[in-house]
C-alpha cells in the first residue's frame, strides 16, 4: 500500500474524487466509486484477458480523505493498494473494501500495470489537478508484490522488463503452465482436466501478446497526456483506436509467420520427393488464393 499527501489548494475532496473517476474511465477501466462519512473510495480494474483468464479479478483501489491530524490547511491523503474486485461495492464498508481480499501479483502484467497506474495517478493529481504534493523522505512505500511468490516466478516476471510483447506472453504462459503442472502432479486435476486446461492455456499466447503490446502503447499515451503533449480529446481518440490497430498488426504478423513456416515445410517435402513439383505449385497457389 502507498500513501501520498497533498494540499488541496482550490479543490475540495469531492472534486478530486470526481476528477479521478473520470481519469479512470477515459483510460477504459471498469470503475466503481462511493463516499461515506467524508471519505471516498474508488476501485478500478482492467477489462482484458489478463484479468479474466486467471480469475484473479485484481483491482486497483484508491482511498481519499482529509489528513488527521495535520498542521497544514487543506491537507488530504490519497492511499492506493491492490486487492480483490468487490462485486457488492455499494453495500460494502470502505475499510473492508480497501483492506480486504488482497491478492498476490504473480506476473509482470499485474505488477507493471499497478506501478504505471500508481505513478500516473500521482502525477495527474499533482500536475493536472494542481494539488501540491508533500514529499517527506519516507512519505510512502510501495509494497513488493512478489514477496510471497516462488523465487523462480519472480525471476521469470522481472526478466520480462526488457522482453518484447511476444516474449512476455510466452513467459507468462510458461509460468501458468508450471502452476498447472504442479496442480496435476499434486493430484488436484484429473488427466482429462489437465490436458484440456493445458491446451486452452497454450492457445492464449497470441491474446497475451496483444494485451502486453496494448498495455505498453497505452502507457506511452498516458505519459504524453500527463506531459500535456496530448489533450484529453486526443488521448481518448488514440486509446480508442490503439487496441484494434495493435491486434490487427500482431495477428497479421503471426499469420505471415505461419505461412512462411508452412512454405518451408512444403519446400522440404519437395526436396525429399514427398511432393511432386505440380503438387508443390498447387499448394502454393491455394495458399496465395487464401
Per-residue confidence (pLDDT) for residue 221, from 0 to 100: 78
With a cut of 80, say whether residue 283 has pLDDT above it: yes
Mean pLDDT of 65-94: 79
Mean pLDDT of 86-109: 52
With a cut of 80, say whether residue 38 has pLDDT above it: yes
Per-residue confidence (pLDDT) for residue 103, from 0 to 100: 42
Predicted TM-score of the model (pTM): 0.45
Helix, strand, or coil here: 106? Answer: coil
pLDDT digits (tens, 9 = 90+) for 101-156: 444 333 333 444 566 678 889 999 999 999 999 875 533 343 443 344 444 444 44
Give the lowest-confidence range in 41-50, 93-102, 130-139, 229-238.
Answer: 93-102
Whole-Å CA distances, 188 to 23, 103, 150, 244, 257: 42, 22, 19, 39, 37
Comparing CA positions, the residue from 254, 108, 243 lying closest to residue 172 is: 108
Mean pLDDT of 208-224: 79
Give the lowest-confidence range in 53-62, 139-148, 246-255.
Answer: 139-148
Contacts of 250 (CB under 8 A, 6+ apart): 165, 206, 209, 210, 213
**H/E segment holding residue 40:** strand 39-45
Which residues are registered as beta bridge partners of 122? none
Comparing CA positions, the residue from 175, 235, 242, 234 lying closest to residue 213 is: 242
Q: Quick check: 16 and 131 in contact, CB under 8 A?
A: yes
- Choices 3.30.310, 1.10.3470, 3.30.950, 3.30.70: CATH for 1-149: 3.30.310
Per-residue confidence (pLDDT) for residue 230, from 0 to 100: 79
| Cis peptide leading into residue 69 (ω within 30°) | yes
Contacts of 242 (CB under 8 A, 6+ apart): 214, 217, 218, 221
Per-residue confidence (pLDDT) for residue 94, from 0 to 100: 55
Domain range summary for the chain, segments of one domain joined by +: 1-149, 152-290
Give the lowest-confidence range in 43-47, 66-70, 97-101.
Answer: 97-101
Give the lowest-confidence range in 4-18, 59-73, 228-242, 258-272.
Answer: 228-242
With a cut of 90, say whether residue 70 has pLDDT above it: no
More confident residue, 269 or 152: 269
Mean pLDDT of 52-69: 73
Per-residue confidence (pLDDT) for residue 162, from 0 to 100: 62
If you ran DSSP here, which 8-state letter would residue 203 be given?
Answer: T
Amino acid at each position: 500500500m502507498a500513501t501520498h499527501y497533498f494540499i488541496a489548494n482550490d479543490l475540495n475532496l469531492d472534486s478530486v474524487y470526481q476528477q479521478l473517476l473520470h481519469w479512470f474511465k477515459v483510460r477504459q477501466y471498469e470503475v466503481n466509486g462511493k463516499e461515506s462519512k467524508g471519505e471516498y473510495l474508488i476501485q478500478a480494474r482492467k477489462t482484458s484477458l489478463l484479468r479474466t483468464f486467471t480469475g484473479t479479478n485484481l483491482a486497483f483501489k484508491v482511498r481519499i480523505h482529509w489528513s488527521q491530524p495535520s498542521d497544514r490547511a487543506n491537507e488530504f491523503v490519497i492511499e492506493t493498494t491492490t486487492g480483490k474486485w468487490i462485486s457488492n461495492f455499494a453495500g460494502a464498508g470502505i475499510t473492508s473494501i480497501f483492506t480486504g481480499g488482497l491478492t498476490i501479483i504473480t506476473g509482470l502484467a499485474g505488477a507493471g500495470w499497478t506501478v504505471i497506474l500508481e505513478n500516473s495517478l500521482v502525477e495527474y493529481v499533482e500536475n493536472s489537478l494542481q494539488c501540491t504534493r508533500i514529499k517527506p523522505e519516507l512519505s510512502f512505500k510501495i509494497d513488493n508484490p512478489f514477496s510471497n511468490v516462488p523465487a523462480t516466478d519472480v525471476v521469470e516476471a522481472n526478466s520480462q522488463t526488457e522482453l518484447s510483447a511476444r516474449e512476455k506472453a510466452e513467459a507468462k504462459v510458461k509460468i501458468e503452465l508450471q502452476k498447472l503442472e504442479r496442480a496435476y502432479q499434486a493430484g488436484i486435476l484429473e488427466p482429462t482436466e489437465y490436458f484440456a486446461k493445458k491446451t486452452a492455456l497454450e492457445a492464449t499466447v497470441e491474446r497475451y501478446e496483444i494485451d502486453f503490446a496494448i498495455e505498453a502503447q497505452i502507457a506511452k499515451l498516458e505519459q504524453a497526456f500527463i506531459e500535456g503533449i496530448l489533450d484529453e480529446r486526443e488521448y481518448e481518440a488514440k486509446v480508442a483506436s490503439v487496441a484494434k490497430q495493435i491486434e490487427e498488426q500482431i495477428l497479421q504478423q503471426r499469420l505471415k509467420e505461419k505461412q512462411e513456416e508452412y512454405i518451408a515445410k512444403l519446400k522440404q517435402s519437395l526436396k525429399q520427393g514427398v511432393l511432386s513439383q505440380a503438387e508443390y505449385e498447387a499448394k502454393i497457389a491455394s495458399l496465395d488464393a487464401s
